[in-house]
Amino acid sequence: MAINRTSSHGEWSSRTAFILAAAGSAVGLGNIWKFPYITGENGGGAFVIIYIMCVILIGIPIMLAEVYLGKRGRLNPIASIRYISERENRSKNWQIIGLIGILAGILILSYYSVIAGWTMAYASRTAFGVLNNIDAAGAAVIFENFIADPERLLAWHTIFCIITALVVSRGVKSGLENAVVRLMPALLVLLVALVFYSAIEGDFANGIKFMLYPDFSQVTGKTILIAMGQAFFSLSLGMGALMVYGSYLSSDVSIPKTCVIVASLDTLVALLAGLAIFPIVISSGLEMTQGPGLIFQTLTVAFGAMPGGQLFGTLFFILLIVAAWTSSISLIEPMIIWLIEKYNVTRIQAAIFSAAIAWFIGIGTIISFNVGSDIKIFGLNIFDFLDYLTSNILLPMGGILITIYVSWLLSKEKVDSELKIKSRILRVLWYFSARVIAPIAVIFVMLNAIGINFDIFS
């Protein structure tokens, strides 16, 4: 029977291990780097509320569906869906979901690694005390000089790609479980400490107001698309990462509970990051809307001024690198197991090949901050284009296909017996979200974003 098959790539040692690995995938630069800067760009409170609604109404239902597919298929995303389709007499064209995911994963990794490289550079600068006592204006200059230098960005990007390839070539379980168990709680503790610092030294009242007080007059269809894209990105949804992790899940684990825990943890970290960053942005006179450099400049100011900031800052950046690295493993893993299963290559060969592709595409992101900033695709620079394409188009598209496939096309008995949602109300709610709310919301928001406007947004 399908349910008792196991993955040839191994299995998690416990439910906690899966939660940690999934949380390791979810919590990363998306929470600490991206969430604050896009919240800053999109006006604060209203964006945060829409984001949280997207997590609950769209994210969690799709997450359940995605983990379900992995746990039932036990293979790489493409083959899992082919396997399930064969058994359910569904078209094998649904494999396209896996393909979209593998593509999205590598494209995301290409720029993710560049930003992880920034984090490494800032860890080393903080450690050497280069950033001590820097004010906001100084932090801005330092950051601008840094991203203006393509060679330096390339060096760090290369190091991060190599580290990622090294770890995944040893297999996901060894290494990953250990890193996550020890380091994720440490990251959380440091983040909470940073929030305290921000409460004492920053403009906490206005920071909180910015983050929680909604001004819906600024909200457009595009704001909602970005919030939704961020929910997909932050929860690692729609690209097969959780499908792959689900395929290593032992058969007795409850999917829904696990997913709710992972999503809550991920959202908690994003909100804490916001609480830590915004009060300092305001008190130091930095710009909310400055984009991808926001946390690097803000944290430079904060660590530069705080007692013990050199040590504390170094630790913080190191933990952020670890968080980025546990996420990048999940970005590359779908492609790796696909290569292994389909082309019979070794894990090491697959890892080198996949990382090399991400590395090469990453050069586009590097130059979009300096020598290639004039290169535009659909009016966006290369980094913004890749980010838009993946977060706002590929991940939601993958997600919507996953949820339609699972909730409408697969045998309801099988899905029910696997998900084991005991409460009838919750079961009905899940079906309603997965079948109706999530698909309609995603289609609606995407149509709106490509310019087909509906009255409620105008």
Helices (runs of H) and strands (runs of E) counted in the chain = 22, 0
- Paired residues of 380 in beta bridges: 377
**Judged by CB under 6 A, does residue 322 bind ligand PHE?**
no
**Kindly report the CA angle at 147 between 143 and 148, in degrees rounded to 5?**
110
Token pair 């580290």 in the structure block, residue? 163
When the beta carbons of 107 and 410 are compared against ligand PHE, the nearer one is 107
Length of the chain: 458
When the beta carbons of 85 and 354 are compared against ligand PHE, the nearer one is 354
When the beta carbons of 40 and 221 are compared against ligand PHE, the nearer one is 40
The number of CA neighbours under 13 Å toward the Cβ of 126 is 28
Spell out the residues 6+ positions from residue 47 whose beta carbon is closer than 8 angstroms to its own: 38, 39, 219, 223, 226, 227
**Judged by CB under 6 A, does residue 29 bind ligand PHE?**
yes
Both tokens of residue 340? 């292994």
Q: In angstroms, rounded to a whole number, what is the distance separating the alpha carbons of residues 75 and 387?
A: 28
Both tokens of residue 417? 């017996």
* Helix, strand, or coil (residue 202): coil
The distance from CA 319 to its chain's CA centroid, rounded to whole angstroms, is 16
User: Can you give the three-state secondary structure of 390-429, one letter per residue?
Assistant: HHHHHHHHHHHHHHHHHHHHCCHHHHHHHHCCCCHHHHHH
**Judged by CB under 6 A, does residue 226 bind ligand PHE?**
no
Instruction: Select the span of 72-80, 168-176, 232-240, 303-311 touching ligand PHE (CB under 6 A).
Output: 232-240
- Interface size with ligand PHE, residues (CB under 6 A): 15
Backbone phi, psi, residue 45, to 5°: -45, -50
Instruction: Select the span of 29-37, 176-184, 290-298, 396-404 touching ligand PHE (CB under 6 A).
Output: 29-37
| Binds ligand PHE (CB under 6 A): choice among 75, 136, 239, 361 | 239
Spell out the residues 6+ positions from residue 327 whose beta carbon is closer than 8 angstroms to its own: 24, 25, 26, 27, 28, 29, 30, 112, 236
* DSSP-assigned letters across all residues of 131-152: TTT--HHHHHHHHHHHHT-HHH
**Judged by CB under 6 A, does residue 288 bind ligand PHE?**
no
**Judged by CB under 6 A, does residue 75 bind ligand PHE?**
no
When the beta carbons of 84 and 102 are compared against ligand PHE, the nearer one is 102
Cβ-based neighbour number of residue 287 at 10 Å: 14
**Min CB(200)–ligand PHE separation in Å:** 28
**Judged by CB under 6 A, does residue 80 bind ligand PHE?**
no
**Judged by CB under 6 A, does residue 119 bind ligand PHE?**
no
**Judged by CB under 6 A, does residue 233 bind ligand PHE?**
yes
Cβ-based neighbour number of residue 185 at 10 Å: 12
**Judged by CB under 6 A, does residue 25 bind ligand PHE?**
yes
**Min CB(61)–ligand PHE separation in Å:** 17
Instruction: Select the span of 82-90, 158-166, 311-319, 327-335 touching ligand PHE (CB under 6 A).
Output: 327-335
**Judged by CB under 6 A, does residue 326 bind ligand PHE?**
no
Instruction: Select the span of 128-136, 244-252, 326-334, 365-373 touching ligand PHE (CB under 6 A).
Output: 326-334
**Judged by CB under 6 A, does residue 433 bind ligand PHE?**
no
Spell out the residues 6+ positions from residue 186 whose beta carbon is closer than 8 angstroms to its own: 315, 319
**Judged by CB under 6 A, does residue 321 bind ligand PHE?**
no
**Min CB(216)–ligand PHE separation in Å:** 26
Instruction: Select the span of 28-36, 123-131, 210-218, 406-414 touching ligand PHE (CB under 6 A).
Output: 28-36
Instruction: Select the span of 25-33, 56-64, 77-85, 252-260 touching ligand PHE (CB under 6 A).
Output: 25-33
* Footprint of ligand PHE on 142-181 (CB under 6 A): none
| Binds ligand PHE (CB under 6 A): choice among 17, 62, 168, 241 | 241
When the beta carbons of 85 and 327 are compared against ligand PHE, the nearer one is 327
**Judged by CB under 6 A, does residue 28 bind ligand PHE?**
yes
Both tokens of residue 106? 């590598």
**Using CA of residue 360, residue 365, residue 367, residue 368, what is the dihedral sign?**
positive
Instruction: Select the span of 121-129, 230-238, 253-261, 309-317 touching ligand PHE (CB under 6 A).
Output: 230-238
| Binds ligand PHE (CB under 6 A): choice among 76, 330, 368, 433 | 330
Which ranges constitute the DSSP H helices of 344-389?
Answer: 347-368, 382-387
**Min CB(40)–ligand PHE separation in Å:** 17
| Binds ligand PHE (CB under 6 A): choice among 223, 234, 433, 448 | 234
**Kindly report the CA angle at 195 between 44 and 40, in degrees rounded to 5?**
20
Cβ-based neighbour number of residue 345 at 10 Å: 15
**Min CB(240)–ligand PHE separation in Å:** 8
| Binds ligand PHE (CB under 6 A): choice among 30, 36, 362, 364 | 30
**What residues line the site for ligand PHE (CB under 6 A)?**
25-26, 28-31, 108, 233-234, 236, 239, 241, 327, 330-331
